[in-house]
Amino acid sequence: MATTTKQYGITPPMSVALPEQKDIEKNAELIEELKRENNYETQEATKKRMSTLALLQRCLIEFVKHVALGKQHSPQQVEKYGGKIVAYGSYRLGVYGPGSDIDTLAVAPRHITRDDFFKHFPDTLRRLVTEDAIGFLVPVHDAFVPIIKLQLYGIEIDLIFASINGLESVDKTLNLSDNKLLDGMDQATVRAVTGPRVTDEILRLVPEAKTFRTALRAIKLWAQRRAIYANIVGFPGGVAWAMLVARVCQFYPHAIGATIVSKFFFIMKDWKWPQPVLLKDIEPQKGNDKVWNPALYNGDRKNLMPIITPAYPSMCATYNISQSNKTVILRELERGAKITNNIFFGAGKWSDLFEKHTFFTKDHKYYLSVIASCKGKDDIKAWSGLVESKIRILVGQLELIKDQISLARPYVKGFARAHRCADEANGNAVGASGAEEPPSGGNFHTHTFYIGIDLTPSAQKNLNISAAISYFKGVCQGWQDYDANIHFLDAVPVRAHELPDDLFDKAKGEVKPARPPKKKPLARPNGDANGASTGPDAKRPNDDSNGVSAGPDTKRQKTANGTTTPTPAATVTIAPA
């Protein structure tokens, strides 16, 4: 009697073959390479994570009690209210490693509000720990999902909040998978509980959790090394990559980790986007809940690479992927397919797959530096986070110049720098906000974000992108906490050879691009074809005519520590070589 294989996902499997000896050998090699790459955390470090989460749990209980007593609830009631810290993301999936942050959700009963959380939770935490335990704590009220970003005992934590309307108390055994808990929730709270619900659904929908985890560790490492892992700037984030790997696991339910990695590239490089990636059928919309539906919502029709969350209400985890980022992702998938094919034919090794990107060393001739600066160290954390969250808007504005710009690719993170400014001139070099300059002198803190820019063959000699930059600045300066005397923002085009030295890891052999040689005009005895003089007194063409220019008023100044900080003019132009 033939046995049937359980179907995972919305289609039958592509293959139910069992692993062969070669698959087993390549899987062992993959795991060894992941260990060499320091992808697994020590038991001691994991215990530290667990104790940190336990501390957050105690803090949540104390916070709920404090707020409830302040609202005149009786002490007897307060003791019953409870609360629960729910970890999700890479920690819940079991693919965290050294330095990984922890995504957490604080679940509270209905009488505790989001405003209560942002007002009282930070102070409650500070009362429970020593001052040096908290590296930083930054509330971000106006994020798509309001969040507190903090570092506790050296572990970075993203903490979001949800108040459950239907619950007067929250027990530690609470299961967020129950759809009835969504009744009466506002959209911000629905988005908050979606993270844990999606994580649990992913684990439920994969054939073999161990295989899924091995493959996901490899794909996450590959995406990070190739600089295509960052939801905030429009690349897939951790949950999106996890769903892609889970879908491949559904296609090959009996395969092992290394085989899944190989099939991942084989399938995803030829995926028929914008056909969505689904782990299960989308549950129909109920009431006023918004469920991903391109037939109904114009915004959903614009998704370029839709990867749909399996928990109700289904959402697109990759709604912010730009055309440029899609181009880069597809290019990297092609590269990954070639490398894994070589690995299985014995002509390559896993370390080839994990080679670092060449974003700064060779990928682009031109870059746009976006510099967020503040004088106060505490101010820069929130301001730079706001600016980073809007980088994708600047990318979108640059992509509108499609006849001139073929690619606008954001780097996946910003670079923090500190500057000592001794005088007025140096103080003005750190940052500018429209017509205003930061106060002179003192210390400045900057976060710089880079966008690699490729021009089309028909790009104009002087391409003006000042309108895109002005629009971007206006969006950032519309932040509710924006203060023109505190927050400064620059956007400066630079060539590859002008990039700061600290972007290059010389210890690992990274070489900063060299300044291109100037083109010498052909000498003619009596001038050129147009009668222009070519003698010794003839003027050399301006070097910026063949590169990146910030306009006629561009000036470059140095801070006291020697770091060059460009100050942009009102008109920003890019000139192709």
Which of 84, 88, 90, 473 is an active site residue?
Answer: 90
Encoding tokens for residue 514? 């060299």
Q: Give the single-character DSSP code of 308.
A: B
> Strands, E, within 37-154: which ranges?
84-88, 102-109, 134-140, 147-152
Give the Cα separation of 546 and 560 in Å (integer): 30
How many CB atoms are located within 10 Å of the residue 403 CB? 10
519 is catalytic: no
Q: Is there a binding annotation on residue 239?
A: yes
101 among the known binding-site residues?
yes
Alpha-carbon distance values, 272 to 9, 306, 381 (Å): 18, 11, 40
The DSSP secondary-structure symbol of 5 reads P
How many CA atoms lie within 13 Å of 276's alpha carbon, on the beta-carbon side?
Answer: 26
249 SS3 class: helix
Catalytic-role residue among 149, 220, 375, 390: 220
On whether 454 is known to bind a ligand per the annotation, the reply is: no
Pairwise CA distance, residues 239 & 311, whole Å: 12
Residues 6+ apart with CB under 8 A from 311: 177, 194, 197, 198, 200, 201
Catalytic one of 40, 48, 101, 379: 101
Pairing of strands 442-455, 415-421: antiparallel
471 belongs to an annotated ligand binding site: no
Contact at 8 Å (CB) between 9 and 205?
Answer: yes
* 458 given a catalytic annotation: no
183 is in an annotated binding site: no
Count of residues making up the chain: 577
Kindly report the CA angle at 470 between 543 and 459, in degrees rounded to 5? 45
First to last CA, the chain: 70
DSSP-based three-state secondary structure for 367: strand
Instruction: Say whether 450 is catalytic.
Output: no
* 423 marked among binding-site residues: no
Let me know if 379 is a catalytic residue.
no
Which candidate, 402, 380, 215, places its Cα nearest to that of 322? 402
Amino acid of residue 505: D
The residues that bridge with 373 in the sheet, in sequence order, are: 446, 488
257: annotated binding-site residue?
A: no
Residue 158 known to be catalytic: yes
Q: Answer whether 368's CB lies under 8 Å from 453's CB.
A: yes
Question: Is 160 annotated as belonging to a binding site?
Answer: no
349 in catalytic set: no
| Residues 146 and 140 sit within 8 Å (Cβ to Cβ) | yes
Tell me 163's DSSP state: E
Exactly one of 158, 200, 300, 490 is catalytic; name it. 158
38: left (phi over 0), alpha (psi -120 to 50) or beta: left
DSSP-assigned letters across all residues of 451-486 = EEEEE-TT--SSEE-HHHHHHHHHHHHTSTT--TTT
Q: How open is the CA angle 37-249-100, to the nearest 5 degrees?
A: 35
Binding site for ATP, residues? 101-103, 158, 220, 229, 238-239
Binding site for Mg(2+), residues? 101, 103, 158
Q: Which residues are catalytic?
A: 90, 101, 103, 158, 220, 229
Binding site, residues? 101-103, 158, 220, 229, 238-239
